[in-house]
Amino acid sequence: MTDLVTFEEREAAGGKRLAIAMLNSEKSLNSLSLPMVEALYPQLQKWQKDGDILAVFLHSAGEKAFCAGGDVVALHAGSAAYGEELPNNSCEEFFALEYRLDYLIHTFGKPFVVWGTGFVMGGGLGLLSGASHRIVTETTRMAMPEITIGLYPDVGGTWFLNRTPGKTGLFLGLTGAHINAADAEFIGLADFFLTQDLKEEVMTALTEVKCERGVAGVMEHFSALVAPQKPAGNVEAHYAWINEVCAGDLNQAIEKITAYVGDDKWCSKAAATLKAGCPVTPSLVWEQLHRGSELSLEDVFRMELTMSVNCAKRGHFKEGVRALLIDKDRDPKWTPSTFTDVNQDEVEAFFIEPWAQHPLADL
């Protein structure tokens, strides 16, 4: 059986080693599963403690996707196990360990490079966002598309969407809009643009640096060579419009975005995705960003675990995945069925901790 994650160490200058991890589920677009997280987490802990490891390089098999998100089909099965009471189940187990992994990357004590080529969505963005050296390429397609499946931008989305310029974080959370390499740099979710054909050269160059400070120098060198190849972005070009439509309260933002009638394909798709999305998700996005604006990173992940478990328990997530990925009828029966039917009591329920002791209390 092929390993879902492979690990390698290459000899580097000064007796150091470059640690390399590769997501190895190309057919699933490297969707992040519980076994993958269970493999990554202890190995990264080991590398963090090893004084001979110069840096960690996380990449993926194939060129289509770094990681297209969490394995939501498996999570659907876990969410289907929920009844009135909260049992121990795979959903809670996956989310809790995934968030521990994301937190570890955010707080890693040495250079952590992520090669974010192709699709970088949902759980993939969780792996990339906390890295010290975040690389995007000419094929990068990044998004937090949880509006389509009744979830919300988790994996630290509360943290990184609150740190984007203007109202861009709110807009991306509400619409699940796709962004490219230039957009990712503009909103602060990427550090370097490189072309995907350079990956092996970059890894080789990293084995030749003599100290951790040299890692950034490698990225800067290659980035300067390919800068003219960076694609044009959408977020900066539509920055004024984004801030305009997201001004005011949530209902006003929804009305302004979904009312778009122009011929811009990016704006049209964003409006259509929001309009067809789970009616509860925009309220969760709005509330998570407001509640999380001053939280510590630890408290962000604790809040998100509470929200995610409640999303699985309350059925919106299960129905969204059923319609999109299980039955594929693309006709989810949302309850409530419209944005205006969502009340504050419904929203508050997602933030109530279902445990006496929070599973991430020790972060």
Strand partners of residue 23: 5, 60
* Residue 330 resides in a domain: yes
pLDDT of residue 331: 86
* Residue 217 resides in a domain: yes
| Cα 204 to Cα 27, 217, 334, distances in angstroms | 27, 13, 50
* Residue 310 resides in a domain: yes
pLDDT of residue 71: 82
pLDDT of residue 84: 43
User: What residue numbers bound the domain in which 258 lies?
Assistant: 5-349
Per-residue pLDDT of the chain (363 residues; tens, 9 = 90+): 679 999 999 999 999 999 999 999 999 999 999 999 999 999 999 999 999 999 999 999 999 999 999 887 777 665 554 444 444 467 889 999 999 999 999 999 999 999 999 999 999 999 999 999 999 999 999 999 999 999 999 999 999 999 999 999 999 999 999 999 999 999 999 999 999 999 999 999 999 998 889 999 999 999 999 999 999 999 999 999 999 999 999 999 999 999 999 999 999 999 999 999 999 999 999 999 999 999 999 999 999 999 999 988 887 788 888 888 788 888 888 888 999 999 999 999 999 999 999 999 999
* Residue 277 resides in a domain: yes
Residue showing tokens 């076994």: 35
Pairing of strands 5-11, 17-23: antiparallel
pLDDT of residue 200: 98
Q: How many CB atoms lie within 10 A of CB 15?
A: 8
3-state DSSP assignment of residue 22 = strand
* Residue 362 resides in a domain: no
* Residue 363 resides in a domain: no
Asked whether the beta carbons of 17 and 206 are under 8 A apart, the reply is no
3-state DSSP assignment of residue 118 = strand
* Residue 360 resides in a domain: no
pLDDT of residue 277: 95
CATH number of 151's domain: 3.90.226.10
Q: 250-258 vs 168-175: helix axis angle to the nearest 10?
A: 70
- Return d(Cα 203, Cα 135) in angstroms, integer: 12
Asked whether the beta carbons of 270 and 177 are under 8 A apart, the reply is yes
Closest listed residue to residue 76, CA positions, set 150, 143, 147, 145: 150
Tally the domains of the chain.
Answer: 1
* Residue 81 resides in a domain: yes
Closest listed residue to residue 95, CA positions, set 313, 282, 327, 335: 313
